Structure formats: C-alpha cells, structure tokens
A and B are shown apart, each in its own frame.
Chain A
Amino acid sequence: MRLSVAMTGDAGAKLAAHLLRHDGQEDLCFATWTASTGHSRTTAIIDRPIIPGPAERRVHGNASFEAAYALRAAQEAALARMGLAFMHSHPGGRGWQALNRVDRSAEARIANLARELTGLPLVGLTLAGDRGWSARIWGGVGRDVVPDPCESVRVIGDGFSVTFNDALVPTPEVSSTQVRTIHTWGEETQATIARLRVAVAGTGSVGMVVADVLGRTGVQDVGIFEFDTVEMVNLDRLRGADRLDALLKRPKTHVAQRLLEAGSTAAHPHHEIYELSICEPEGFARLLDFDIVFSCVDRPWPRHVLNTAAYADLIPVIEGGLSAFQNTDGTLRNAYWRSTLVRPGRPCLACLGQYDPALVQVERDGSLDDPTYIANLPLGSPIRRRENVAALSASVSAALLEQFVSYVARPSGLGEPGPLRFNLRDHTVERDPTVCDEGCVYQESAGCGNARLDPTSRHRAAEQGRSDRASVSMGVRVGRRLDDLMWLLRRRLRSLLDD
C-alpha cells in the first residue's frame, strides 16, 4: 500500500504559523489524523492541530516536549477516534526532508504510545522552511517500530501545494516534446504537474479532450474511469473515436487509452484505465488513489460521489458542464458553460445546484435508465435534456483545464478562481457568487476520510455496459483482434523509429 498525507489549506496555514517561528528556531506540535483508504494508497488526513501550552514544550534552537503534552494529545486523538500525528520544523530545510537520527529516535518513542492509545499508527511530519512537508507513517510495534515513507504530502488550499518524496516519486525526465510546455511555466512546475496522479471520471465529449491534453502535458499517471460504449450517436463529439469503434462496440476507455498512448509526452507514462463507474465500490476505491479528479460526468449519482470525495477525502474535483437554450423555432438562443474546483472552502456541487441530491437515489435504483420512467417525466425536467455539441463541449474542456492550470501552476501566485460561468451570446465570463448553505453537510464533512457516508453501491448500468460488450458476435470479436493488430503494428513502428 502506498502512503500519503493530505491536509486542508486552513490546517496547513495554522500549522505553518506555529512551526515556522519568527526567531528561526525549530518548533513542534501534535495533531489528529484520520485515514482515507483507496485501492492501493492510504492517505492520512491531518485533522486538527493540538498546539502546545507554554509549559508543554521547550524551544532551545531545537525543540523538545514534555511527556504530559504527548499524553494529552494522544488522549484527545483517542477521544475523537482519530490517530495521532507529530510534526516538527526544519526552518533551514528545503523540500522533502530525510528523517535524521535524532528525529527518528524522538518519533519512535511516541509511536508506541500513539498506537496503544489510539489504535492507529503515528504519523510523523516535518515542515521545511519553504513550507514543503515530508511525512512517514510508523509501522510495527515495540522495539520494531519503523517509519514507512509517504510518497507525497498535499495541502488543499487556494492553490494546490504538494511535496513529493523524490526517492519514491522521482522527478521525471524532460523529453524533447515538452520544450514548449516547460517554456510556459518552468521546469519546477512541470516536475510537479507531471508527478500528479490525475483522474478523469467520464470520457465523453469533455473528458476525452481533457484526457488527451493531460497526456500531452506530460502527466505520467492519468486515470480513466468510464463504463460506457462508443455508439454512432457519440461520433459528432467524441475525440479519437470513429465509426469502427462504434461498429466494434469498443468501450470509451479503449479510445482514451489509444489517445493517451499516441499523445503522451511523458518519458514513462503509466496510465490506469478502468471500465468502472466511480459509483461502484471498486471504482470509488481506485478513485481515492488519485490527487485531483476531473469530473466529466453529467448525472447526479457520480456528481454526488465526486462531491463526497472532494470534501471527505480532500481530493479536489474540477467540474463543469454545458447548458444550451433554444428559441421556439429550435434555433440556438444562448449557451452557458461553467467550471469550478470543488474543495473545502469552495461551494460544493449540491449548493451550486450542479446536481439534486434527491435524484441520486432515482439514478441508483435504475429509474434514470428506465425508458418508461423517463417518458413520464415533465418535458422541462433537467433529466430529459440531451443537448451537446462538439464546438461547445471543447469550451467546457478548456474551462476545466484552465481551472487545473490555475490551481497547480498558480499564475502570479494566485490559485483557482472559484466558480465561473461563460456566456456564449454575450461573450462574457462571470464569477458565480454562490456560497454553501450554512451547515452544509459536505463542508462539515471535510477531511473525515473513511468516516464518510458511503456513496457507492452496485451500478447496474455499468454492469450492463460491460456485459453487453462481452457478449458480442464472433465477427465483432475478430474485428477487434484485427483492429488491435493494426494498433500494435503502429506502436512497433513508432518504437522502431524512436530507437
């Protein structure tokens, strides 16, 4: 299991204000943490700093703490049914900090106390003077406690701040195909973006473009979640898909994989392609292995799932959509597309009105896939809306990618702009002033990790899609093999010429 740590921007700011002292000395404190468990990654989410009282720690160039402080912190964590985290600063350090002998010994002494009182391992963190975090999670018991290194620490604030453990996630090689990209934002930003684990949920007209662009930008780990099949009706807007894909009943993931393989500029791309719905337990668990998610879905249930992960699991979700309105004669009156980045401190998708929580169960029980149910809906129901056009869905993709770049590249030090709405007729962009309702359950669940209310269940539409693709005629099977062979030859030719 890979390990990582995440915290909100508020928690990060509070901790930095305490740990990075004006006098340049080291400092320390405890905090509580809770787990967010994915398929192959566990993230320790830092919850609440426990700042020491005046008599609980001593600062003398280095810093040390009284046993009573450790005990108080462990008891507070146990009462909250959370784990204990211990953190200290290296004001002169930069980036990921290796664990030195003194720090290792100090943390090892607390590791057993933490496990005994909370039942959870100690999370140790170091904050460098450049606000770069490093972290480890202590495994083992008794004299055999050992620090298992984390791969990254993410701070989810106005901008996305991440520190990577270079030993586990090395800085990627720069390829000749990325020269123009690096000229745009520099090697350091490229090294960050390339190492982010970015998922795309839904590869329709918007998601397929996003996936292609992420690959071309050099993101090494792109995850694709899609259970749908390419159909003729998709071809007017689905990048990379052609009639053959529809005739061979290819999954949309197949098209995404082909695009990523053909266009990725990373030296060692590792794309994860899942014919899963994020609403299924396995799909959701795999989603939790990613750092940022593009929401390119348009139904209430997956939006609810992503809204849940954005807050409970501190996985920022970049979301958008398109609405087009017609005149009575059927011509286009206006169209709007919007984009937002969903995270603690920004409005949630439910409060923004991007989905109706009451329709989640309607979708879950299969009603939205039941033609007789749909036929009985009022004509104006948002569920019946089907408008989509490639020329405008490209704008949605662009709006989402702008949110992504703003968040991770932070132009002029600024982060993402908040919810935006683009107006086609007037050619304007407006800020959406919506804030979450007081007591919004999503904001209140920020960082609760595995304690979230599970939004997943069996997804019959996804099962049906996979089953339909598996039960095709022999002719289609042979066609798929021939098509695969052609792509294999193309891949071979490319690698021959590369060499």
Chain B
Amino acid sequence: MNGVAAFVAGLRELGLEPEQRGGLVVVILDVGPASARGPHRVGADPPNDYPRVPPHWLHLQRGLVLAEDPGRASELGDDWWRWSRPHPKWKGNDNAARQWVAHARSLLLVAQVV
C-alpha cells in the first residue's frame, strides 16, 4: 500500500480518524499552543510514493500560523493556509505515520494564534 491509502491506514492504526479530501488528508490532533490547546485539524498531502517520501505541506486552519514565512492558500478551502514544513529527518519505514504525527504535533505546539 502506498500514497494516500497508506497514509490514512497508518493514521488509523494510531487510533486517529483521518478524513480524505481529494488528494489531501485531514486529521484531528489533540495538541496546540498554550493559548489555544487542541484539538486542532491539520491537513497533509501525501505523495504517491509515501511512505518513501513524506508530505511536504502542513495545512492549518486560519487562526493558527507558523512563524518565519508566509503561509499560502490551501486546496482545502478559504479557511485554511498551508505551510512548507518538510520533515527534518524522515525515515520512510513502518513508523512513517507516527513520524509524521510527531512532526505535526511539534509544529502545532509552536504555532501562533492570530
């Protein structure tokens, strides 16, 4: 299994409830910055050769922003922004979904509320 199907299956194995929207996947994570503790919805764009290659963009709902660079319009709709946040040390093995969730959670913790 690969691509979106593998990503969704991996998240389900972690007890999460991912929702597929076209080529993107939205999932609820129960963390957030101190001033806006979770849960928050985040989106990802797993490529066809996931888990060899991780998703590039992290999609966040408006209200949460990541510092240092401007977000871009998201394919998920006007309520969303996407942020370029490649995984810092990706190993495309069996723990791929866990790696991505840890990465997304670490970004949510440092997100800023606007």
List residues of chain A with CB under 8 Å of any chain B CB. 304, 308, 356-362, 364-365, 367, 373, 376, 437, 439-441, 453-455, 457
Contacts and interface: CB of A to CB of B under 8 A. Distances in A.
A373 B85 CA distance: 12
B15 interface: no
A437 B95 CA distance: 14
Contacts of B56: 358, 361-362, 365, 367
B93 interface: yes
Nearest to A305: B49
A361 B84 contact: no
A441 B51 CA distance: 10
Main secondary structure on chain A at its contact with chain B? helix
Closest 4 CB pairs of A and B: A358-B86, A453-B49, A361-B56, A358-B87
Contacts of A457: 47-48
22 contacts: A304-B53, A357-B52, A357-B90, A357-B92, A358-B86, A359-B86, A361-B45, A361-B47, A361-B55, A365-B56, A367-B56, A376-B68, A441-B51, A441-B52, A441-B91, A441-B92, A453-B2, A453-B49, A453-B52, A455-B49, A455-B52, A455-B53
Contact of B86 (A304, A362, A453): A362
Contacts, number: 60
B84 A373 contact: yes
A220 B87 CA distance: 43
B69 interface: yes
Interface string B53-84: 11111000000000011100000000000001
Contacts of A376: 68-70, 84
B79 to A, nearest CB: 21
B12 to A, nearest CB: 20
B88 interface: yes
Interface in B1-38: 2
Contact of B88 (A304, A358, A373, A440): A358
Contacts of A439: 93-94
A359 B56 CA distance: 8
A362 B47 CA distance: 11
Nearest to B70: A376
Contacts of B55: 361
Contacts of A367: 56, 84
B54 A361 contact: yes
Given A358-B86, A359-B86, A453 B48 contact: yes
A437 B91 contact: yes
Nearest to B2: A453
Contacts of A361: 45, 47, 53-56, 86
B84 A362 contact: yes
Nearest to B95: A439
B48 A454 contact: yes
A357 B54 contact: yes
Interface in B88-114: 88, 90-94
A455 B3 CA distance: 11
A356 B86 contact: yes
Given A304-B53, A453-B2, A364 B87 contact: no
A264 to B, nearest CB: 37
Nearest to B49: A453
Contacts of B68: 376
Contacts of A358: 53-54, 56, 86-88, 90
Given A376-B69, A439-B93, A441-B92, A357 B48 contact: no
Contacts of A437: 91
Nearest to A455: B49
Contacts of B52: 304, 308, 357, 441, 453, 455
